[in-house]
A and B are shown apart, each in its own frame.
Chain A
Amino acid sequence: MADTAIRTEQLVKTYGRSRGLAGLDLEVRRGEVYGFLGPNGAGKTTTIRLLLDLIRPTSGTISVLGLDPRRDGVALRRKVGYLAGDFVVDGRQTGRELLTYLGNLRGGVRRQRVDELAARLDLDLGRRIKSLSKGNRQKVGVVQAFMHDPELLVLDEPTSGLDPFLQQVFVTMVHEAKAAGQTAFMSSHVMGEVQHTADRVGIIREGRLVTVEGVEALRERAVRNVEIHFETPVPADEFAALPGVSGVHADGTVLRCRLDGRADPLVKAASRYTVLSLLSEEPDLEELFFTYYRDGKTADAA
């Protein structure tokens, strides 16, 4: 148990109009960054709110950092930093006032640490929160989640509303947290948000975990477009027959194709000719996820 940060077994939550969860088995290891992916309404936020004891499971068990959220909620939440995708607070207070209050609820947080985070995110803590843009409000949320260096970061679609530069800063912050031994559990409905931070991703669909994979393994499997420039024209047929290669199109000395899986056979085949340049696009993991989203069963078989 010591190396498990989050474990749920047969977690079920049925409530109201929402679908909730239908038997979720989740295991997040200590020290890893876990991307929790799924379309809107799949049960991501429900899962997160169960972890924090904001809602209670219909059945099943939850253990977070070895604690039961229901019984040891206060002790558990002391070790957790939580950021919701839509960070809403009373706008009449300044960022500084809010963070001081929230820090006090945690028994005090070093002001220096708060200032450091605010400076990194380029956030003015002296302004009233209602006068801030959505992105700047979200920054206040980021600071409160990170400021006490929690053992576990629970981040629900954390970078929504942040501009690309700040998303980059955020990625760095998550990397640093991981380097410091912290665990991060990050939900998102797009791969791009967790692709650069997560070690593993779990995909949830209609309240169940469809698959859990290492990001590297996914990257290896994803389809990518490859373009090879040769010194002399090459026969297209020779490449079309290779495993994992499709959509071959030879235009004189330029060969374009789609590569699914390992690059090895293609590279070995190409090496028989003189290669001038080789261009391989970053794999489009998003596309892979759409197949999971659309049909969980196909993804299971893959």
Chain B
Amino acid sequence: MLRNVFTKTLWDGRRSLLGWAIAIAAVGAMYAAFWPTVNTPQMQDAMRNYPQAVLEAFNYNDLASAAGYVGSSVYGLLIPLLVAVFAIAYGTRALAGDEEAGTLDLLLAHPVSRVRTALSRFAALCTALAVVGAVLLLAMLAISGPADLGSITPGEFAAATLQLVLFGALLGALAFAVGAATGRKALAIGVTAGVAVLGYLANGVFPQVRGLAWTRDVSPWHWYLGGEPLKNGLQVGDSLLLLGVTVVLVLCGTWLFNRRDVAV
């Protein structure tokens, strides 16, 4: 595991990765396990009494089907939030964290190029996200039988999870890019958290205001959830959009990182 920058980064983050993967899968499985309770006439009536706007703000669009429930409760808010926090922390640490701690100098004084270092660090982030996604997917598939989620196919679970991972990668890439370009941890976290929150509001809240419907189209949340992958399977267009923006962010960040001075 001490072979190169990629494996070393994964190795250094192993404990945190393990913790996050288990926590995210556990939260997901727990929420999914409530489906039999939610799927009762009394509960459905109770939910219908909430104003539609409130339900939409929380991505609770359709609680009458298993896919609708899991799509909003598991994949709609809490899990993407946890994935976002994990990805932003990882992306910030990738270069800016290392630089602010003063430990980047030593690495870059070795025979590794800046571009390779940056890309290796981001590759580690993608791998970590893939692990989180895989553990979550396994947990969902395992709970699907006991929680009466049989109407959602494994392929649909996989599609939603893949789009979740791409969503995390995009936010991680933004934190990575801001950190790579500026070397400032707080800025990387601030900008990315801001984008994540605005994107969330743009997906569920702004469109309720007349004239702001367009904001939904530029929200990463919409690219992730809009096509309802849990009901409709993998949304190729949305996935490519998430992937494309991620690639552009990583390339821009790496390019700027390669041009600038590394702080002491």
A residues at B contact (CB < 8 Å):
15, 45, 49, 52-56, 73-75, 77-78, 80, 82, 84, 86-90, 92-93, 97, 100-102, 104-107, 144
Any A CB within 8 A of the CB of B264: yes
Mask, B95-130, CB within 8 Å of A = 1, is 000000111011111111100000000000000000
Asked if A84 and B106 make an inter-chain contact with CB atoms under 8 angstroms apart, the answer reads: yes
A94 nearest CB across to chain B (Å): 11
Asked if A52 and B112 make an inter-chain contact with CB atoms under 8 angstroms apart, the answer reads: no
* Cross-interface CB contact of B103 among A78, A80, A88, cutoff 8 Å: A88
* Cross-interface CB contact of A84 among B2, B3, B8, B105, cutoff 8 Å: B105
Top 3 nearest A-B pairs by Cβ distance? Answer: A55-B261, A78-B111, A101-B2
* Set of chain B residues within 8 Å of A55, measured between Cβ atoms: 261-262
* Majority-rule SS of B interface residues: loop
A58 to B156, CA, bound (A): 55
B residues at A contact (CB < 8 Å):
2-5, 8, 12, 101-103, 105-113, 259-262, 264
Asked if B262 and A54 make an inter-chain contact with CB atoms under 8 angstroms apart, the answer reads: yes
* Set of chain A residues within 8 Å of B260, measured between Cβ atoms: 56
* Cross-interface CB contact of B102 among A77, A88, A102, cutoff 8 Å: A88
A45-B264, A104-B3, A104-B4 as given contacts; A54 in contact with B106, CB under 8 Å: no
Asked if A100 and B2 make an inter-chain contact with CB atoms under 8 angstroms apart, the answer reads: yes
B204 nearest CB across to chain A (Å): 40
A87 to B109, CA, bound (A): 12
A53 to B262, CA, bound (A): 9
Asked if B111 and A56 make an inter-chain contact with CB atoms under 8 angstroms apart, the answer reads: no
A15-B261, A54-B262, A55-B262 as given contacts; A105 in contact with B112, CB under 8 Å: yes
Select from chain A the residue with minimum beta-carbon distance to B104. Answer: A54
A107 to B173, CA, bound (A): 29
A144 to B107, CA, bound (A): 11
* Cross-interface CB contact of B106 among A75, A87, A100, A104, cutoff 8 Å: A87
A55-B262, A97-B2 as given contacts; A82 in contact with B111, CB under 8 Å: no
* Cross-interface CB contact of A74 among B4, B112, B262, cutoff 8 Å: B112
